Amino acid sequence: MARVVSLKNSPAAREVRGREELVEVAVELFARNGFAGTSIRDIADAVGRSVSNVYHYFENKEALWLAILERSVKALPARLRGALEDVSEPRARIAALVREHLDVSEQYRRESRIFFIDEERLSASGNKANKRIQREILTIYVAELETLRAAGLLADGDVRVTAFNMLGVINWYLRWSKPSAGQAKREQTVDQVLAFILRGATGS
């Protein structure tokens, strides 16, 4: 009889688990203390490992930051585009876009928050990766607002400024909303945030 080999404890599987544990702890510490306020020693101590063990998986703190980006916010543009499929009416498209953005931000609440903390301390390559995703998200919003304008539904003003204002509201939502709130309360809050954004964009 052929011997069944379990992959759960294979070296490759252990490498994956070790890496994921570090990323999860880094998310928690970065969200709580900021990127600049968290050291590799802090991360090592939190998981009960040596500093050298952390460096085995990640060459520096920024590599951990980029791994967090990879698993969370990097997927946001595709999620936003997916939310617009099969939605044709311009105002309804804006509503679908904002709701999906809020949903994804809620799913990755801690991750979403850390990308707006201490980003000026990142290296040029790290900052470039962060800015590229932000520009992609902004482009999606600007395109939808241009569609709203073409339909005669957009309030007067610069489209990019309106997009930045919308994104500012969404980002601040993560700072003051309570993750412990019940689902019904959260839905009411999202409805109110969405109504505020639509009034600002359309004037009605």
14-65 per-position pLDDT tens digit? 888 888 999 999 988 988 888 888 999 999 999 999 999 999 999 998 899 8
Residues 155, 148: Cα–Cα separation, whole Å: 9
Please tell me the predicted confidence (pLDDT) of residue 120.
60
E-strand stretches of the chain: none
Question: Which of these ranges, 52-66, 70-84, 169-183, has the smallest mean pLDDT?
Answer: 169-183
Q: What are phi and psi of 37, to 5 degrees?
A: -90, 5
Count the Cβ atoms, other than its own, within 10 Å of residue 22.
23
Highest mean pLDDT among 60-64, 102-106, 181-185: 60-64
Per-residue three-class SS string for 68-79 = HHHHCHHHHHHH
Cβ neighbors of 64 (< 8 A, separation 6 or more) are 22, 23, 26, 43, 58
Find the helix or strand (DSSP H, E) in which 99 lies. Answer: helix 90-107
Of 100 and 5, the structure prediction assigns the larger pLDDT to 100
Q: Report yes or no: 39 and 54 within 8 Å, Cβ to Cβ.
A: no
108-133 per-position pLDDT tens digit? 877 776 765 555 666 677 677 778 88
Q: Report yes or no: 102 and 174 within 8 Å, Cβ to Cβ.
A: no
Does the pTM surpass 0.85? The reply is no
DSSP 152-195: T-SPSS-HHHHHHHHHHHHHHHHHHS-TTS-HHHHHHHHHHHHH
